[in-house]
Amino acid sequence: MFINFWYAAAEAAKVTDQPQHVRMLGQEFVLFRDSKGKVHCLSNTCIHRGASLAHGKVKGDNIECPYHGWQFGGADGVCTKIPSLGKDGKIPARAKVDSYPTQEKYGLVFTFLGDLPEAERPPIIDIPEWDNPAWRVSLMTTLWRVNTLRGVENTLDPAHTEFVHPVMGFQGERDDYSVPQIELIERDWGTGTKTKFVTPGAAGTVKAEVRGGGFQTEAEAGHHGATTTYTWIQFSPVAWSRQYTFNTPVDAHHTQKFFLQARNFALDPSGDARMDVRTREVMDQDRVVMERVQPFFVPQSSTEEVIVPADRVIVRYREWQAQWQAKGWLMDVDALLAAGENKKFAIPSPARRSNKGWALDAVPMVGANSTARAAAE
């Protein structure tokens, strides 16, 4: 799991002045709206004696802990009130919790989980279809018991559709089936591939009939940063589906998917339900395979796999991860799990760059110079 990316935390409409508990990167957070409607995200563990802030109350622009009533500011996480000290009590400098930058975009609340200054943060992927009236965008959410990086590899994988998705392939039974040489499309924060493939398809939904039955379809899939993916599928010369998935690692074993699907046909919102049913069917086909992949995390040594040219984009994705690991952004999941119930960590927030004295230690990171491969967890 990587820090220093924007992660989708919740659907914006569901974040209110009632605090909401969210688990991301194996850590606990509280989300709430303040008196002006601004969304805040704080580390959930009260640094007094550990209560869950998400089970407290919003008081104006602060959140109040349910245990002894300490209050913390949404914008900076700094403690503003310790009732037991009385009105003029001096609040200790260490009385603060991490506060994370938030953004509302595409109907979602994004939280920046890391300590990079604003100018250096990898951006949220651009979805030009979002406010384009020629497109309809619908949202679907689902939770997978799959390691997020494994899941992203599945989306990138041009060789799985033939076998995993019956509407997109022939189970390898066509004589002329192979995965053509893969061309990589390099973008600022990730790599994609474009593939043309023949699908059984459904009449009227795909491009053109080809020799021997089936239809020629074109798709591009890629990743943006560690856990966002996009898949653009051309069903016909005029019908496109552009899918963007914000994969949030709940922990190293679970992925919360926020799946935005843009279509340039059947624009009426009443078409959403039908699209969702179809999409869920296809996603479940992936999920069934991915939940059983072993080892659960990507193996640390490439000698434990046999890689072929069709895996080229996966290899490239792992190279990106190695770069982010070299910057010190890869969490040490083994150390985190080993700490068990005796210790609570926090994802370092931007304020840790300038302020010292935090009650919770920052999550352990894989050393920037470690030789362990980035894709480990």
User: To the nearest whole angstrom, how small is the minimum distance from the Cβ of residue 313 to ligand FES?
Assistant: 47
Q: Do strands 57-59 and 62-64 pair parallel, antiparallel, or not at all (unpaired)?
A: antiparallel
The answer to the question of residue 286 lying near Fe ion (CB under 5 A) is yes
Strand partners, 231: 221, 243
Among Fe ion, ligand FES, none, residue 49 binds (CB under 5-8 Å by kind): ligand FES
CA distance 270 to 167: 23
Closer CB to ligand FES, residue 63 or residue 363? 63
CB atoms within 10 A of CB 344: 16
Closer CB to Fe ion, residue 286 or residue 332? 286
Closer CB to ligand FES, residue 65 or residue 233? 65
At 290 the three-state DSSP class reads helix
Instruction: Say if residues 336 and 344 touch (Cβ distance below 8 Å).
Output: no
Instruction: Say if residues 297 and 147 touch (Cβ distance below 8 Å).
Output: yes
Tokens of 156: 């990138």
Binding mask 10-49 for ligand FES (x = CB under 6 A): ------------------------------------x-xx
Dihedral sign from CA coordinates of 59, 65, 68, 70: negative
Region binding ligand FES by CB under 6 A among candidate stretches 64-72, 142-150, 234-242, 271-279: 64-72
Region binding ligand FES by CB under 6 A among candidate stretches 65-73, 119-127, 259-267, 277-285: 65-73
Among Fe ion, ligand FES, none, residue 189 binds (CB under 5-8 Å by kind): none
Tokens of 340: 């068990």
User: To the nearest whole angstrom, how small is the minimum distance from the Cβ of residue 67 to ligand FES?
Assistant: 4
Q: Which residue is nearest to Fe ion (CB)?
A: 286
CA distance 301 to 239: 42
Instruction: Say if residues 112 and 101 touch (Cβ distance below 8 Å).
Output: yes
Residues with Cβ within 8 Å of residue 371, at least 6 apart in sequence: none
CA distance 35 to 4: 28
With the CA atoms of 52, 57, 63 and 67 taken in that order, what torsion angle do they form, in degrees rounded to the nearest 10? -40
Closer CB to ligand FES, residue 49 or residue 274? 49
User: To the nearest whole angstrom, how small is the minimum distance from the Cβ of residue 284 to ligand FES?
Assistant: 41
Among ligand FES, Fe ion, none, residue 345 binds (CB under 5-8 Å by kind): none
Tokens of 303: 């000698």
Closer CB to ligand FES, residue 44 or residue 261? 44
The footprint of ligand FES on this chain (CB under 6 A) covers a number of residues equal to 9
Among ligand FES, Fe ion, none, residue 286 binds (CB under 5-8 Å by kind): Fe ion
Binding mask 69-108 for ligand FES (x = CB under 6 A): -x--------------------------------------
CA distance 111 to 121: 12
- Chain residues binding ligand FES by CB under 6 A are 46, 48-51, 65, 67-68, 70
- Chain residues binding Fe ion by CB under 5 A are 286
